[in-house]
Amino acid sequence: MRRTLTARLMRGRPVMMFAAALMAAETVYEMIVYPAHLPVTTVLSVVHIACVLALPWAPRAMGAGVIATFLACCPLPDTGGPSLLFGTWLALVALGLHARSWRGWLWPALVSAARAAKFTIDGFPFDYYASLIMLFVVSYALGRMLAWRDAAASAERDRLRYERTRQRVETMRRESRAASRIHDSVANNLAYMAMRLDYERTRDVDDRTTELIDDLYDRAIDTLGEVRAVIDMLDVDAAREPDDDGGSDATDPMTGHRSESDSDDSDRPIDRGSSFPDRMRAGMTRGDRYLSRLGFTGDSTMIDDSRSTADAGPSCDADGTGISDGAVPSDEGMSREREDAAVALLRELYTNIAVHADRRGEYHVIARRTADGIDVDEVNDDAGPDAFPDKPSSGRGLAMHRRRFASLGGVIRTSREDGTWILHAHLPA
């Protein structure tokens, strides 16, 4: 950013060095034209000149030194020697420019009082030296005015810097949200297609069908890899978290396309206008049905204890027919953003099961909402890192949900115990 006029004229060392050298030269000239009669006057004048020359590097300390030598020379009974006014004026400007509080005004007051006392003792009337006294005050006021202008320019620079930072953060947030939406939609559908094709080609099919499935599978995997690259580009500024699930980037099979052989209500998109328990149960029903198509066994349960447990709501198990107990829906205490975060995490859990769970074991998903918030627990037998080796990995799936939960005050914890994958998530109301 372009530097302000104040910074160029007063803060820049070359300009201040030039001003200090000019004032020191004027003082030296006065010493030659009006030689001092007392040695102490000469010594103080030399120290005064040295302090003036050092002003650019230490304005407050050297400014105080300039004022001190001026005050020391005032009571001396010496009719010769320099006036020391040039250096004093410059020192007052420097002190005003670098003052940190209102106490800085004591400098011009002190100098004016000392000089007025000297003129009064020598018998001069006030109107004789009034303009000189005003120059001391004006010099310090000039420094303060330049400092205020510099502060205003600095505040404007800070405001513009803050605005640029805010816009950059907002852009990063939008890109992160876009990456999350792509991850939870486009990549999810492609991953489910690839898993379904991989599962179908293990059945007894003719060679032509096998060739067709292999071609579609390869194209789905290639396209999923490109989508992963886009997600990495959009989410490049997000902090990458350790993935202790061996594949937290797993995508979501729950939003896959409807199958002609299984075209029922469970394949319809989840309505965001529904109540939170209904949205969770719909997601569980869809996830259980998709996992059942892939050969998995397990069940999901949604329990709503936010108001009561008098009534029950259905949730399907892996064969699409089981019923788990719930309670009456209630959206009190749970914001839409927290609801969306919980539903999105549910999708990720079913994807992780599809990619990493052992089909020979069982999985269990339990979501419970209370007055304190919502808890989600999931367990499954771990099939190891090679359950779906062809799927491109970005390492951002569960990590994005961890960051989202953390931003809402929640937490996601994962662990492995004796070949069993365990996840617990909590989101406060």
63 inside domain: yes
20 shares its domain with 145: yes
In eight-state DSSP terms, residue 317 is B
pLDDT, tens only, 134-167: 999 999 999 889 888 888 888 898 889 899 888 8
CA distance 373 to 306: 8
CA distance 215 to 281: 35
126 shares its domain with 261: no
- Number of domains making up the chain: 2
Rounded to two decimals, the pTM is 0.47
pLDDT, tens only, 114-138: 888 888 887 888 878 888 889 999 9
Q: Which residue has the tokens 């947030």?
A: 173
Q: Mean pLDDT over residues 181-201, rounded?
A: 69
CA distance 255 to 269: 7
370 inside domain: yes
CA distance 379 to 364: 5
188 inside domain: no
CA distance 144 to 140: 6
12 shares its domain with 153: yes
15 inside domain: yes
Q: How far is CA 142 from the centre of its chain?
A: 40
Number of Cβ atoms within 10 Å of the Cβ of 142: 16
What confidence score (pLDDT) does residue 236 get? 56
Q: What is the CATH number of the domain that holds 351?
A: 3.30.565.10
191 inside domain: no
Q: What is the mean pLDDT of the chain?
A: 77
367 inside domain: yes
Residue 26 scores a pLDDT above 60: yes
Q: Mean pLDDT over residues 395-410, rounded?
A: 82
CA distance 425 to 414: 9
**232 exposed, middle or buried (CB, 10 Å; 0-12, 13-18, 19+)?**
middle
CA distance 82 to 362: 98
pLDDT, tens only, 53-85: 998 888 899 999 999 999 998 888 888 889 899
In this structure, the dihedral spanned by the alpha carbons of residues 349, 354, 356 and 359, taken in order and rounded to 10 degrees, is 120
Q: Mean pLDDT over residues 159-186, rounded?
A: 77
Most confident stretch, 227-236, 374-383, 397-406: 374-383
CA dist 364 to 111, 306, 351, Å? 84, 22, 13
279 shares its domain with 137: no
153 shares its domain with 277: no
Which one of 137, 158, 179 terminates a domain?
Answer: 158
User: Domain range spanning residue 291?
Assistant: 241-428
CA distance 398 to 251: 10
**307 exposed, middle or buried (CB, 10 Å; 0-12, 13-18, 19+)?**
middle
Q: What pLDDT band is residue 207 in, cutting at 50, 70 and 90?
A: confident
Q: Mean pLDDT over residues 273-294, rounded?
A: 86
What confidence score (pLDDT) does residue 48 get? 93
209 inside domain: no
CA distance 15 to 26: 17
278 shares its domain with 374: yes
**396 exposed, middle or buried (CB, 10 Å; 0-12, 13-18, 19+)?**
buried
Which one of 158, 174, 201 terminates a domain?
Answer: 158
CA dist 302 to 79, 255, 298, 327, 373, Å? 99, 19, 14, 8, 13
Which one of 113, 143, 158 terminates a domain?
Answer: 158
268 shares its domain with 405: yes
pLDDT, tens only, 252-283: 443 333 333 333 333 444 555 578 888 899 98
What confidence score (pLDDT) does residue 150 get? 83
CA distance 337 to 408: 9
What confidence score (pLDDT) does residue 51 get? 93
Amino acid at the residue 313: G
Residue 186 scores a pLDDT above 90: no
Residue 323 scores a pLDDT above 70: no
130 inside domain: yes
21 shares its domain with 125: yes
256 shares its domain with 367: yes
Q: How far is CA 153 from the centre of its chain?
A: 25
